[in-house]
Chain A
């Protein structure tokens, strides 16, 4: 176990614990930047997909993981970001302007929706956002002049500093663009968590009553969290649209919303790592399944027959397994493994056991 001798408060404020940890993350970043030379076009596309899901996961993590507000409707904001981006691009705006604006528009829409929605607690909020996700489909169909309705829209090619960025034609620049968005969003997220606003999100999640007594404006904090969450989700949606190339009212269905929520639960609620780990599971699961099917085909004699719903079935089972055995998600499991090695041989089985809290003053609400 490395013990850091702290001599300055800045050591606690900066995001990395010590040089070793900083080096590790820089190495990971370097590896990510070098990925187009290390992987073939197919796997680079898959990695891009994972990174886009990670952005969406970060967006939902702000709201669900850190502010404690469950949302089953984030596909609506993916759609909002996606359409806003394309509409702005078609209006002739350069990508460097259209893309940030798409996120901002989604964030403002989200914050406005949040003002009535966040009066609802727990399951009621989940149902409200679920309804929102279902409504999106109809809204897209109804506003055909802007969205293209059922026939959908095609993403125009983007020109970024004279480089063509296209998912199929030039996968490497598109990958780097996604990576840049991921890195910027992650850095912003890290900064937020070590600043007063991020702490007030956590305060609202853990105890609204005492957050209020500490001077945190609950309604405002929730709305800000919803807005920030939707902004990041909007960027993820814009990237998804560009990645898919073509999309219509059915692209951002309720299933995507649910998948997104499952993803951050599997990854580990309340941690940035969780969003990435969950995205890796979501992104690579279909590949993994098809490889596994090929492997198993000679044994079962099933050949390469498509099994409808297999992916969702497996995904659901993974989720149930996590809720039962590892509610802290993949990141929680990683923390346990790391602590086991760090404290060897002193790790105790109950080290991470959550204590039941009794007598919460819920009656004040």
Chain B
């Protein structure tokens, strides 16, 4: 059974159809990419899965749960974590604090025990810290641990955001343009990280990406979108050779 299923989903903003009868399914253990020209509705699909938007029709299922029945703040509890296209970190907090917010869904303490900082809260904090340190090791963030986000370079912020998503211990990781704005070296690091995320951590990855080189290297399947609808679905090579995809990017032959 597929881990994430998008079934016949339509989302309209007034007269604009952002997502038009879109269906696809992501299998557990897969690395799945969504590609398409600007304005195709790729990030909108992510925002639908995160429940920031509610579709007019269709269904969203994650691991047997009806995603439309949960609020956006409860999506993380099901095991879906995400990054944002334009980096949404907590700027006036340290890298460590950012990653610890990622542990929020594992919070067992309540207000009272936290104000008193009981031994149980202390244990929970140590546990959270241990998990966060594993991710810091995994993504080589050691030099930045106590740095404020506001002073970090762009490339590092991208990695911190991915680390924060991993800190939630997700089953499905949504990466919104993870390679945009990264240097060649950073992109190749990213490639190995994405493969390791699947291999070592057993996390399914769904990503939106424009870098077809990266998509071709790491992805099992690719969905190409244009104007909110599906153009093609298949292996990276199949999708890149698909006539409709070529037309969407390059236009008609004269």
Which chain A residues have a beta carbon within 8 Å of chain B's beta carbons? 9-10, 12-13, 188, 191-192, 194-200, 202-203, 205-207, 209-218, 224, 228, 270, 354-355, 357-361, 364
Cβ of B240 under 8 Å from chain A: no
Which chain B residues have a beta carbon within 8 Å of chain A's beta carbons? 47, 50, 52, 71-77, 81-82, 84-86, 88-93, 96-97, 100-105, 107, 109, 111, 114-117, 121-122, 124-126, 129-130, 133, 150-151, 164, 168
Taking CB as reference atom, which chain A residue is nearest B53?
A364
Contacts of A192 in B (CB 8 A): 114-115
A209–B164 Cα gap in the complex (Å)? Answer: 14
Contact of A361 among B71, B85, B100 (CB under 8 A): B85
A217–B129 Cα gap in the complex (Å)? Answer: 22
- Contact flag A216-B104 (CB < 8 Å), given A9-B126, A192-B114, A355-B150: yes
Contacts of B93 in A (CB 8 A): 199, 202-203, 206
Interchain CB contact under 8 A, A12 and B77 = no
A195–B115 Cα gap in the complex (Å)? Answer: 8
Q: A9-B125, A199-B93, A213-B75 are in contact. List 18 more A-B contacts (CB 8 A).
A: A10-B122, A13-B122, A13-B126, A188-B115, A191-B116, A195-B121, A196-B103, A197-B111, A203-B90, A203-B101, A206-B89, A209-B52, A212-B50, A213-B88, A214-B101, A214-B102, A214-B164, A364-B47
Contacts of A203 in B (CB 8 A): 90, 93, 101, 104
Taking CB as reference atom, which chain B residue is nearest A188?
B115
Interchain CB contact under 8 A, B97 and A212 = no
Taking CB as reference atom, which chain A residue is nearest B71?
A217
A287–B82 Cα gap in the complex (Å)? Answer: 54
Contacts of A355 in B (CB 8 A): 150-151
Interchain CB contact under 8 A, B168 and A215 = yes
Contacts of A224 in B (CB 8 A): 111
Judged by DSSP, the binding face of A is helix
- Contact flag A364-B76 (CB < 8 Å), given A195-B125, A206-B90: no
Contacts of A354 in B (CB 8 A): 150
A149–B16 Cα gap in the complex (Å)? Answer: 58
A206–B164 Cα gap in the complex (Å)? Answer: 15
Contact of B101 among A211, A217, A359 (CB under 8 A): A211
A207–B126 Cα gap in the complex (Å)? Answer: 25
Query: Can you list 26 A-B contacts with CB-CB less than 8 angstroms, sorted by A residue number?
Result: A9-B125, A188-B115, A191-B116, A196-B104, A196-B114, A198-B114, A199-B104, A202-B90, A202-B93, A202-B97, A207-B89, A211-B101, A213-B75, A214-B76, A214-B81, A214-B101, A215-B75, A215-B77, A215-B168, A216-B73, A216-B101, A270-B92, A355-B150, A355-B151, A357-B150, A364-B47
